Amino acid sequence: MSITQISRITHRKGLSENLPQLAGAELGWVIDDRELYIGNGTLEDGAPIIGNTKILTEYTDILNLPFTYTYKGEEAGYVVRTGPTSGADITRPLQSKFDDFASVRDFGASGDGSADDTEAINRALFELFAREINPQIRRSLFFPAGVYKVTDTINVPSYAKLYGEGADSSIIRYENTGTLASYVLRTADSKQQTGSNIGIGSATAPTNIEVSSLTIETTAETNIVLVENATNCYFDSVRFKGITGIADLTSASGPACITVLSTTALETTQITFNKCHASDATYGVYIDDNCKGITFSNSKFDTHYQGVVIGESPINGGPTGVRILHNMFDNIAHEGIKIGAVSLNVSAYNVFYDVGNNFVGAGSQVASNINIDNADNASIGDMFQRNDTDNASVPRIYLNEKESIGYDGSKRIKFGSYARDVGKVAPMSDATTGGLLFTISTVDVSDEISAFAIDYTIKRDDTIRYGKITVATAFGVNALSYSEDFTENAPTGVTLFVSQTGADVTVTYDTTSTTIDATISYSLTKLY
């Protein structure tokens, strides 16, 4: 490259509309746009084209320069072809590439746990999902790890998708600095309107909202999340955390981690909570309004007065089609699940640990693990830590004599007011008088039992007897009456007796001496 000595450097300045063709190496400063250009020179000098070249400055929008990014995917061991033919790859401005997703910090949220991020978060949700109806503006809103302090409700509009870097990593934390907000986060329509304003101005009611990998918590005694007049919404791997040690955990008055509201005009349907964790609030879930198809699965409910309460005071028919599946309930003062005067709801394959003991543990039972107070609901495959002694006092499942189904672990299956114990097997020793089979209390499973039946089969060597004993009692008074009806292929040498002492009914046996023991298989049937 030759060295050209220039005794005088020419500079030009002016408005962008007056920028001329600059001479080779001549500089031109555009005052209004704060842009700097240099002349290309002539073709004879070797310039590829005649014109001016823009010089980058601090005012240059670098990310918006065209054709600066092409996806390569080199980790695959080759360069990916992005265009229709080789050598015609798709290129994009860097700004377009970076706009593929949005961080809440792009809108001014700090996530430092100190600055108030309420306005920044709500602004981000409005700009991405509510300002225009064009689907192309919608971008998932990312919450990098941090604590996002909020002092008012976050209103999540239709089509919004919020995600973080994991529960207890990305945290939205409510702090009360004035008027207590009713909820930390709630669903909103496509114009970010809530409550009675949902749908005004042709706005789309809350729909297709997704929240994942976040913690939503409060340091004040308020509800955490409200799903209202919404359809097709999903909460995945979200932790809902109230105040540790809240006094209301021992009374039926206080906030809920999850609340669902609905109207007849805008019914809430198809809402899923999966792999979530609700803790430290009066209720894990509270739903009274009409809604359909709400699912709670693979989640944990921990440290509540009651875990999941639906239809306690039904509104417009209350919730139906609520599915409570594969969850864990622990440290629940009263019921883990309470289903009120509503129908078509199911609890299945949940596990109940320290539930219904008022946080005191075994021997202090005050409520059933599951309480169902209407027909056409079911508990199937649920398992319970509560032992048989505590279950006799307060049942694992209480059906309130309604026509629902409950299987209370390994002991009893219930169909409304009908209950049948699972079959048991007991030995009956040879040449025995007054051998004890079992004792049942007439005040069992929170009900007084006026009558029950024992279906049994006795086997002794090659002899078999099948029979039924029907027992009538007088609620703890020694006024028992029973009868037995049986069929046997040969005399078994076994005699059964039923007696009553106070509230206890005892079944005993005598066996003749044949040198052969007998075995009895039996099951109890009760009508409450």
How far is Cα 470 from Cα 452, in angstroms, rounded to an integer? 6
Q: What is the pLDDT of residues 147-188, one digit of tens each?
A: 999 999 999 999 999 999 999 999 999 999 989 999 999 999
DSSP code, position 168: T
Residues whose CB falls within 8 Å of the CB of residue 168, separated by 6 or more in sequence, listed in order: 215, 239
Give pLDDT, residue 446: 47
Closest-CA residue to 275 (of 292, 303, 295) = 295
pLDDT tens, 210-235?
A: 999 999 999 999 999 999 999 999 99
Domains of the chain: 11-60 (no CATH), 91-215 (no CATH), 242-416 (no CATH), 423-527 (2.60.40.1680)
User: Residue range 247-264: average pLDDT?
Assistant: 86
Q: What is the mean pLDDT of the chain?
A: 89
> What confidence tens digit (pLDDT) does each residue in 328-347 have?
999 999 999 999 999 999 99
What confidence tens digit (pLDDT) does each residue in 432-465 have?
A: 999 999 888 776 544 566 788 999 999 999 999 9
Phi, psi of 273 (to 5 degrees): -115, 115
pLDDT of residue 526: 81
pLDDT interval class at 268 (50, 70, 90): very high
DSSP 204: P
What per-residue confidence (pLDDT) applies to 424? 84
Q: What is the pTM of this model?
A: 0.75
How many C-beta atoms surround the C-beta of residue 402 within 10 A? 19
Q: Answer yes or no: is pLDDT of 4 > 70.
A: no
Q: Which amino acid is at 344?
A: L
Largest Cα span, the chain = 133
* pLDDT tens column, 500-517: 888 788 999 999 999 999
Q: In the prediction, which pLDDT does 478 show?
A: 64
pLDDT band of residue 301 (cuts 50, 70, 90) is very high
